[in-house]
Amino acid sequence: MNVSTSRIGVVALGEIPELIPLSIAAHIQGMLHVDVDVLTSLPLPSAAFDQGRLQYSASRLLQHLEALSLSPWKKMIAVLDADLFVPIFTHVLGEAQQAGKHALVSIYRLKTQGVDHPSGLSLLMERAAKVALHELGHLYDLHHCTDPGCLMHFAGGLEDLDGALLDYCNYCRIYIRDALFRKGVTTDEPE
């Protein structure tokens, strides 16, 4: 891994198709004009598995990432292929620390077609990018948006996710680009 000045990192936890973290990084770069590093993958911590629910606890995974204190990145998006839950929901596609450092993207429920199928993989990459950009929005303190076509609209399942465009609405785009500019992640002034 090269020493880097990028503020945003993407890391796979456990086994995941190699293209997924790369595609997430490319979408963030393309949409927000910031550099993103893809780190060498890390093991999925078995301690985050909840024996009662037979799912991974999003909060335990976030604590695990915090304990690793991966530097020098200010924001870290971890991608994994395991079912995630938070106490109030049966499952979540992703989770983030609001205005914090760490976010999770689970591809577990995004794979409705086999990944060996070419359109299955491209659909999976698009969905994973949407979840990642949504969670990244939370890391830069964006809240949920009422516009159902916006990436920051709450997506409880695939129907909502597929109904959103792969873009922020004008309001959310200006908000996140302004946050990136203020934090010095980009020198691109929001228009």
Number of chain positions touching Zn ion (CB under 5 A): 6
Backbone angles phi, psi at 146, to 5 degrees: -80, -15
The token duo for 5 is 């000045």
Distance of alpha carbon 27 from alpha carbon 133, whole angstroms: 8
Q: In angstroms, what is the minimal distance from the CB of 97 to Zn ion?
A: 11
Q: Does 152 interact with Zn ion (rule: CB under 5 A)?
A: yes
Distance CA 191, CA 184 (A): 16
CB of 69 to Zn ion, least distance (A): 24
Binding status of residue 155 toward Zn ion by CB under 5 A: no
Structure tokens at 109: 């429920």
Task: Establish if 133 lies at the interface with Zn ion (CB under 5 A).
Answer: no
- Beta strand extents in 82-171 (DSSP E only): 84-85, 94-96, 102-106
**44, 92, 169, 179: residue in contact with Zn ion (rule CB under 5 A):** 169
Near Zn ion by CB under 5 A, which window of 12-20, 38-46, 54-62, 165-173?
Answer: 165-173
CB of 158 to Zn ion, least distance (A): 15
Distance CA(133)–CA(64), nearest Å, equals: 22
Q: For residues 121 and 142, which CB has a smaller minimum distance to Zn ion in the complex?
A: 142
Q: Which of 32, 150, 180, 185 binds Zn ion (CB under 5 A)?
A: 150
3-class state of residue 63 by DSSP: helix
The distance of closest approach from Cβ of residue 134 to Zn ion in the complex, given in angstroms and rounded to an integer, is 6
Pairwise CA distance, residues 95 & 58, whole Å: 7
User: Smallest distance from the beta carbon of 28 to Zn ion, in angstroms?
Assistant: 16
Q: How far apart are CA 76 and CA 18, in angstroms?
A: 17
What minimum distance in Å lies between the beta carbon of 89 and Zn ion? 11
| Secondary structure of residue 80 in the 3-state scheme | strand
Which residues ranging from 99 to 128 are in contact with Zn ion (CB under 5 A)?
Answer: none
Judged by CB under 5 A, the stretch of 8-16, 33-41, 59-67, 147-155 that binds Zn ion is 147-155
Residues engaged in binding Zn ion (CB under 5 A) = 145, 147, 150, 152, 169, 172
